[in-house]
Amino acid sequence: MSGSLSFVLPAFNEAENIEEAITRCVAVGERLGLRFEVIVVDDGSRDATRDLADALAARDPRLRTLHHPRNRGYGAALRSGLLAARMERVFFTDADLQFDVDEIEVLLAHAAHHDIVAGYRSPRCDSVGRRVMGWTWSRLVGALFDLDIRDVDCAFKVFDRRVFERIPLRSLGALVNTEILVRARAAGFDIRQVPVSHLPRARGAQSGASPRVVFKALRELAVLHGDLRRATRIARRRDAWRTDG
């Protein structure tokens, strides 16, 4: 397999998982024969995540670590990593080992023909509450933006790097997956969806479903919806002006 790939791993308090997550990405990159880099974004972790990632990066020039001095949120961490990526294709997943990185090969098989290849968890190995919340969120996003995505927040996606050269990213929280897909589709990029395995979290604690995170995502969703409505109105006025002219 030819080409180049950036692996992006946002991490917050993942000391129990980060070394294995990095090692798996390196192994996959080597097995596929890609020119690759692994970017770890430590989002102000209060455990040993930063030190462990830095120690591995010091021994391998293909590894890069970015650090937020304080916890800024999942969206901010992901955005830092995506914008720092230097390879042709950009892949991201979480550092919690709930995905099998080997399955990136399934996504890359479609990447030559699609700008974005988005995984969806099949089946999703989370609590009933988290599954219901995820289904409800995807339906809400679909209704607001006419976006037919089965699993918006699935943290297993591959992008052509041009996507992040063309679209703005403003979300600091859990809305980031929604923002990327909505803005990319509006910019004309196409999306392919494929099923991927999802594993129970074995170590560490989840934080994505806290009331604070959900409220922040809803607030950012309203802002995103307003932004896109304004952009649509401006584009229509511009088109009308050109037609009249």
Q: What is the mean pLDDT of residues 83-110?
A: 96
Assess contact for 116 and 181: CB atoms under 8 A: yes
Is pLDDT of 123 > 90? Answer: no
Query: Which range has the worst mean pLDDT, 108-117, 135-144, 210-219?
Result: 210-219
Predicted pLDDT of residue 92: 98
Q: What is the mean pLDDT of residues 121-134?
A: 79
- CA 182 vs CA 161, 185, 189, 191, 217: distances in Å: 16, 5, 10, 10, 14
Q: What is the mean pLDDT of residues 6-17?
A: 97
Coil, strand or helix at 192: strand
Closest alpha carbon to 164 in 3, 1, 4, 6? 6
Q: What is the mean pLDDT of residues 18-43?
A: 97
Identify which has the larger pLDDT, 68 or 124: 68
- CA 179 vs CA 7, 88, 117, 153: distances in Å: 20, 21, 15, 10
Output the CA torsion 41→139→163→61 (10° steps): 20
Predicted pLDDT of residue 232: 53
d(CA 202, CA 149): 27
Predicted pLDDT of residue 35: 96
Q: What is the mean pLDDT of residues 77-103?
A: 96
At 195, list the tokens: 């099923």
Domains, the chain, ranges and CATH? 4-244 (3.90.550.10)
* pLDDT tens string 146-190: 888 889 989 999 999 999 999 988 888 878 898 999 899 989 999
Coil, strand or helix at 188: coil
DSSP classification of residue 205: -
Q: Strand 156-160 vs strand 116-121: parallel, antiparallel, or unpaired?
A: antiparallel
135: how many CB neighbours lie within 10 A of its CB?
13
Predicted pLDDT of residue 140: 81
High-pLDDT (> 70) share of the chain, %: 89
DSSP classification of residue 163: H
d(CA 1, CA 223): 41
